[in-house]
Amino acid sequence: MDIQDIKNRFGIIGNSHLLNHAIDVARQVAPTDISVLIQGESGAGKEVFSHIIHQLSSRKHGSFIAVNCGAIPEGTIDSELFGHEKGSFTGAHEARKGYFEVVDGGTIFLDEVGELPMNTQARLLRVLESGEYIRVGSSKVQKTNVRVVAATNVDVYEAVKKGKFREDLYYRLNTVPLRVPALRERKEDIYLLFRKFVVDFTDKYRSPHVQLTADAQQLLTEYSWPGNVRQLKNIAEQIAVLEKERIVDANILRKYLPDEHKVSTLPMTFKDQSKDDFSERDILYKVLFDMKKDMVDLKKLVVELIQNGVDSSSFDQNAPYINQLYQEVSPVPAHLYNEELNSRPTIIHNPAVSNNYMPLDTQDVEEVEESLSLVEKESDLIKKALKKYKGKRKAAAQELGISERTLYRKIKDLNLE
């Protein structure tokens, strides 16, 4: 199949040398099982070349799947690609096959491969080298026979130098590099593409056909097209639907083109996350550690007060700190917690009195350490609030500073019915 036949089959329009070279590379590499890395700017049409490689290969009767690696969260990308076992993580209610298992014998297209996490890159490298992978939560090695075609719009080599992309994976994927030219590099094709898109959209929306004047064609050709073919197609659709004039000159066309000075045409570099760019998991861990630290501080303070024995003035002195810690770890208002503290008998510590001469009513009494469980404190406070308002839960919820629904749930959870 020659280059023109491939263009006709896959709907490719253009006659530029760079475009023809890219199609020729795809045609030559398709019959092999070599991994291909397709590079090019966003919107240049990289996915079309993955279909060319698959359809002209011996795997054309097998499955083909396109995976956007940048659109899958980091926490689930391994499960999506390699599958998982039942119970391997929260929400894994049943075992699931990954893409490499489903597409066995076919081709998988990994778009935006430069966005893969480092751990996933190591798993992918093992598949490319030995065809082996392991499901998440499993220890059983499985085999797959999948051809990998990858694509990226970032400078992966720069990512390798920064340590954000594995060098061995880069060279394993880049066995045969295939570069899709940007639209501004194939100026002779721009008007052909625009005319094809306009005809398609005017037929689709049953609107009169559009013609460009000579100055409009020149403007169309000289524009940089940072969004490439995708942007050109969008502009053609806007003009076919919105423009009342059917003869479009440069002034009319300019209204639909974004200001070139406001759009960067520089190649995209690999996303380098700063130290302050926390993931949701990192933020959750930080919150949990902070809560644990506050709980430890609160327990130490309460234990110190009980062991040393202090009068009520010490409670008053430490009240702001106690209130702050208690509000951070409990939904119960601090004033109810203070009422509970103040209702306890005051302990007066007199160092002049020896432990051998304790009052008769306190001798031979076993000292019982007070429970510091927040669950028990919460249960006691709810009981007090319900008793205060004679079982009226709405009023008790208002006193506790929580919703009535939350109060019902806590009563059920704590078995306070």
Query: 300-356 pLDDT, tens per residue?
Result: 777 666 656 655 555 555 666 556 655 554 444 545 545 544 544 444 444 443 444
The mean pLDDT value of the chain amounts to 81
18: containing domain: 3-181
pTM above 0.75, yes or no: no
Q: Could you tell me which residue, 226 or 270, shows the higher pLDDT? A: 226
Domain harbouring 76, CATH code: 3.40.50.300
* pLDDT value for 287: 63
Residue 290, pLDDT > 50, answer yes
Rounded Cα–Cα distance for residues 36 and 152 (Å) = 11
Between 276 and 257, whose confidence is greater? Answer: 257
User: Tell me: the pLDDT tens digits for 132-148?
Assistant: 999 999 999 999 999 99
Measure the CA–CA gap between 50 and 356, rounded to whole angstroms: 89
What does the pLDDT read at residue 393?
A: 85
Region 83-106 average pLDDT: 91
Q: Is residue 273 part of a domain?
A: no
Output the six-digit token pair for 250.
């440069």
pLDDT at 353: 39
The CATH number of the domain holding residue 228 is: 1.10.8.60
Supply 92's token pair. 């894994």
Q: Say if 272 falls within a structural domain.
A: no
Per-residue pLDDT at 378: 80
- Residue 381: per-residue pLDDT: 84
Exposed/middle/buried for residue 387 (C-beta within 10 Å: 0-12, 13-18, 19+) = exposed
Question: Of 90-99, 159-168, 268-277, which range is least confident?
Answer: 268-277
State yes or no: pLDDT of 185 exceeds 80: yes
Q: pLDDT per residue over 361-370, tens digit each?
A: 434 444 445 5
Whether residues 198 and 330 fall in one domain:
no
Collapsing DSSP states into helix, strand and coil, what is residue 363?
Answer: coil
Q: Work out the average pLDDT over 53-74.
A: 94
Res. 27: pLDDT tops 90: yes
Q: What is the pLDDT of residue 382?
A: 85
Do residues 225 and 183 lie in contact, with contact meaning Cβ atoms separated by under 8 Å? yes
pLDDT of 277 > 60? The answer is no
Count Cα atoms within 13 angstroms, Cβ side, for 165.
24
pLDDT classification of 28: cutoffs 50, 70, 90: very high
Whether residue 124 is predicted with pLDDT greater than 60 in this model: the reply is: yes
**Domain-embedded: residue 299:** yes
Which residue type occupies 166?
R
Q: What is the token pair recorded at 349?
A: 């510590």
Structural element, H or E, at residue 212: strand 211-212
Q: What is the pLDDT averaged over residues 53-63?
A: 95
**CB 346 within 8 Å of CB 311:** yes
How does pLDDT run across 67-79, given as a tens digit for each residue?
A: 999 899 888 999 9
Backbone angles phi, psi at 359, to 5 degrees: -55, 150
- pLDDT in the model for residue 289: 63
Q: How many domains does the chain have?
A: 3
Residue 373 has a pLDDT of 64
Displacement of CA 417 from its chain's centroid (Å): 43
Percent of the chain with pLDDT over 70: 74
* Alpha carbon separation from 99 to 132, 140, 199 (Å, rounded): 13, 17, 38
Using alpha carbons, select from 68, 90, 71 the residue that is nearest to residue 137: 90
Last residue of a domain, one of 181, 204, 229: 181
Q: Which of 138, 161, 181 is the last residue of a domain?
A: 181
What local confidence, expressed as pLDDT, does residue 269 receive?
47
In a domain, 34, yes or no: yes
Query: Which letter does DSSP use for residue 180 in this model?
Result: P
Model confidence at 6: pLDDT above 90? yes
* The pLDDT value given to residue 323: 62
- Asked if the structure places residue 269 within a domain, the reply is no
- Start-to-end CA distance of the chain, whole Å, equals 79
Q: Tell me which DSSP letter residue 353 carries.
A: S
334 and 385 together in one domain: yes
The DSSP secondary structure of 69-101, one letter per residue, reads: GGGS-TTTHHHHHH-B-TTSSTT--S-B--HHH
Are residue 374 and residue 241 in the same domain, yes or no? no
